[in-house]
Chain A
Amino acid sequence: MRVKNITTPFFLLAFLSISVGLMSQVKPLTDSDKQKVAAFKFTNESQTRGMQQYNNNCKSCHGDPGKKNYSNLDPIPGDPASAEYQALTDGEMFFYITNGKGQLMPMFANAISESQRWDIVAYIRSFNPNYIQAEVQLASDVNLSGALRLKLDVFKEEKRVVALLTDSTDGVQKPIKSATIKLSVKRQFGNLNIGESQTNELGIAIFDFPVDIPGNEEGLLELIAFAGNESKEISVSQLAPLGLTVVPTKLLEQRSWFNINKKAPLWLIISYLSALAAVGGILLYVLLQLKKIKEMNKE
């Protein structure tokens, strides 16, 4: 299939990057990361939202942008308003916020949502008068009106999910570009969000899948991918072998505290009954002694 053809060389690279990643413990920056752009226009509102997030999550180390009052760490966190920082592409900035950097800069992938991370980028950019945001195709502008098809390919070894979004209105599958796809996993109570990703020219969005999500006895998880806007939406769900193998041990099936008598811990039953027997036995013995006295006196 087309998708696989495109992704094969990518996975060679991925293999490499995983082994490098294991060495440095931090994900390496790729070109596609660098070129990543926000899916919305930076506005005053997004900057204000970004400021709040920044103050909550970043200020303790990076200080107030433009004031150079960052913490004295080694390496220094640096001032986000500085030229160095502003030289980063939006994609790079987003990447570091998402995945962290070096030993000190923490990763925020699981702490702040994707759009909030872009809000922070918007806020940091507000200190750069020369900044012009790259042309974005807004997710809301993506035409999702045709006969949509969303297909997931799962790469178990690489822990990667690739989504392909196409429109086959005229009988030919045409990729849909710049659409946001959300991936989540079905859990007991609701869906666990895995991430969002934009489709590229080929209608492909790629997700790195966490390695530590518990699955069922076979390690299967139910993936749910979603794309859509106000006018149209599509979602698919599919079982994928991406989870940890979890064989649930049912507490009530084994002997344990809080179980019915038939399944109470043996040591407990034995202790209880033997203590009871011992005390009962001693009492019986004393009673027999009394009987002996009585019989002695009958004669």
Chain B
Amino acid sequence: MEHSDFSSKIPTKIGEKLFSTVNLNIKFHIWMGFLSVLLLACFYAYYIQLRDGLGVTGIRDFVSWGIYLSNFVFFVATSLVGMLVSSVVGLSGKKWVIPITRIAEIIAVAFAAVAGLVIVSDMGRPDRLAYVFLYGRFASPIFWDVTVVTLYFGISFLLLYVTLIPDLALGAKFLKWRPKWLLWAYNLLSLGWKGTEREFAILKKSIRILLILIIPMALAIHTVTSWLFAFNPRAGWDSTIFGPYFVSGAFVSGLSCLMIAMYFFRKNYKLEEYLTDKLFDNVGKLLVLVSLVYIYFNINELIVPGYKLKTHEAIHLRELFIGHHSVLFWSVQIFGLIIPTILLLFKPVRKPFPMLLLGVMVLVGSWFKRFILVVPVQEHPYLPIQHVPEIFKVYTPTLIEIMVTIGPMVMVLMIITVLTKLFPVIPVWEMAEHGEVKENE
């Protein structure tokens, strides 16, 4: 096959190395097989929920938003990392992010794609999903949420694809011994890319447009998600800063997820040359920055009602600080936020392995933080809870509910696995264009 001069412009060393990860090997199949079995088990749990109704979960009249909803917020949050890395850092001219832009985009696409499904799992009548679009009201935050989540997914997906096009054209040269269908798909999707200057001009303009568009979109998606709570007069949700509070929290959970992914690809895909220590160092600093902003919002969000102690706010804060949820609350704040932030201030900690550990801590903390945001508030409504069984008062998720919650996580892992196995995880053409991305200042 005659490859355009485009592929010859790519240094063979970079091309071969980065395309070597595109490889549906036995490990991939075992891993996917394992995930599929797990997913089937989760589907079975969901089947039971469909058959018997939401009564199989721990959600009841008072806590009607349980871990499904907190999981949803977590998913939306984590998907924001795409916007942070590619747009905010990328557009500011920092070239060091290039190796991780695609990983960030893949995380964004995976989480955004599944976020909608998480909401469906919370619905008693999922067959009525279409009603949201048929009868949705302009005044309903749920309607905006559906709109922005869909659009954000669309934009992220398009961005992922557009930045992939030149790499797809390289497939013919660097993927010789891979299955035929893969090459065929690469060829089809590459739009016949030849790498001319005009093509690049169009491509780069499109990427730029998408990178800019994704910023308001990402802010919208998580601000609207926060409004699902803050448009409510309940003590604990009745806050004016929920928008920025959620967005800053989203950056924290997204970056921690990215850190884990980086470590994984560095080790398993043998990408130490590209996912360098220096890169980890930079991401660590970025996490410190967003965590400090998030800590700031946390303090503000707790100290303002804490000073005024209006009756119901006081009940809520008491539950968090010393009551029923205090252990979880303080663990999340201390181990999921404060300790990682302090540790990451030190350069020796900003190394791949310690950052993997801290990434896991922050990510787990982020998940439970969403639980803290969603559940306790509902346990003390303004009107007293009277004459109800004990299980109505205190929410405890059931096994089925936990399985149905794990399902979307498995899906995310599957999407990430498939995408990172079918396509190079590091943008080849951009790496070639910018040389072996020099250490950043």
Contact = CB atoms under 8 A, between A and B. Distances in A.
Interface of A: 257-261, 264-265, 268-269, 272, 276, 279, 282-283, 285-287, 289-290, 292-294, 296-298
Contacts of B185: none
B139 A258 contact: yes
A261 B135 CA distance: 8
Contacts of B154: 283
B151 interface: yes
B191 A293 contact: yes
A239 B196 CA distance: 88
Interface in B168-202: 191-194, 196, 198-199, 202
Interface string B205-247: 1100110010001000000000000000000000000000000
Contacts of B199: 293, 296-297
Contacts of B162: 286, 290
User: Which of A268, A294, A297 gathers most chain B CB within 10 Å?
Assistant: A297
B193 A282 contact: no
Contacts of B213: 279, 282-283
B155 interface: yes
B138 A264 contact: yes
A293 B165 contact: yes
B206 A296 contact: no
B137 interface: yes
Given A286-B210, A294-B191, A268 B138 contact: yes
A146 B139 CA distance: 64
Contacts of B217: 279
B139 A259 contact: yes
A259 B137 CA distance: 8
A286 B138 contact: no
B294 interface: no
A297 B169 CA distance: 12
Interface string B153-169: 01100100010010000
Interface string B124-165: 000000000000011100001001000100110010001001
Nearest to B143: A272
Of all A-B residue pairs in the complex, the 7 with the closest CB atoms, nearest first, are: A297-B192, A294-B191, A264-B138, A289-B206, A286-B206, A257-B139, A293-B191
B338 interface: no
Nearest to A257: B139
Interface of A: prevailing SS: helix
Given A279-B213, A289-B202, 6 more contacts: A276-B151, A282-B213, A287-B158, A293-B203, A296-B198, A297-B199
B147 A283 contact: no
30 contacts: A257-B139, A258-B139, A259-B139, A261-B137, A264-B138, A264-B139, A265-B139, A268-B139, A269-B138, A272-B138, A276-B147, A276-B151, A279-B151, A279-B217, A282-B209, A282-B213, A283-B154, A283-B158, A283-B213, A286-B158, A286-B162, A286-B210, A289-B202, A289-B205, A293-B193, A293-B199, A293-B203, A294-B192, A296-B196, A296-B198
Nearest to A270: B138
B198 to A, nearest CB: 7
Contacts of B209: 282, 285-286
A255 to B, nearest CB: 10
A56 B146 CA distance: 56
Contacts of B155: 279, 283
A286 B198 CA distance: 15
| Interface size classification for chain B | 20 to 34
Contacts of A276: 147, 151
A77 B196 CA distance: 97
A215 B259 CA distance: 67
Interface of B: prevailing SS: helix
Nearest to A272: B138
A260 B136 CA distance: 9
A275 to B, nearest CB: 8
Contacts of B151: 276, 279
Nearest to A271: B138
User: Which of B191, B202, B213 gathers most chain A CB within 10 Å?
Assistant: B191
B137 A297 contact: no
A270 to B, nearest CB: 10
Contacts of B158: 283, 286-287
Nearest to B144: A272
B103 to A, nearest CB: 22
A290 B137 contact: no
Contacts of A279: 151, 155, 213, 217
Contacts of A290: 162, 165, 191, 206
B83 to A, nearest CB: 14
Contacts of A285: 209
A208 to B, nearest CB: 38
B266 to A, nearest CB: 32
A288 to B, nearest CB: 10
Contacts of B137: 260-261, 264
Contacts of B139: 257-259, 264-265, 268
Contacts of B147: 272, 276
A269 B162 CA distance: 32
Contacts of A261: 137-138
A73 to B, nearest CB: 32
A148 B368 CA distance: 74
A298 B194 CA distance: 11
Contacts of A282: 209, 213
B138 to A, nearest CB: 4
Contacts of B165: 290, 293
A269 B155 CA distance: 23
A253 to B, nearest CB: 16
A297 B194 contact: yes
A287 B139 CA distance: 30
A82 B20 CA distance: 104
A224 B144 CA distance: 51
Contacts of A286: 158, 162, 206, 209-210
A193 to B, nearest CB: 27
Contacts of B205: 289
Given A272-B144, A286-B162, A297-B192, A292 B138 contact: no
A282 B158 CA distance: 12
Contacts of B144: 272
A265 B139 CA distance: 8
A261 B196 CA distance: 49
B247 to A, nearest CB: 18
A39 to B, nearest CB: 41
Contacts of B202: 289, 292-293
Nearest to A280: B151
A257 to B, nearest CB: 5
Contacts of A258: 139
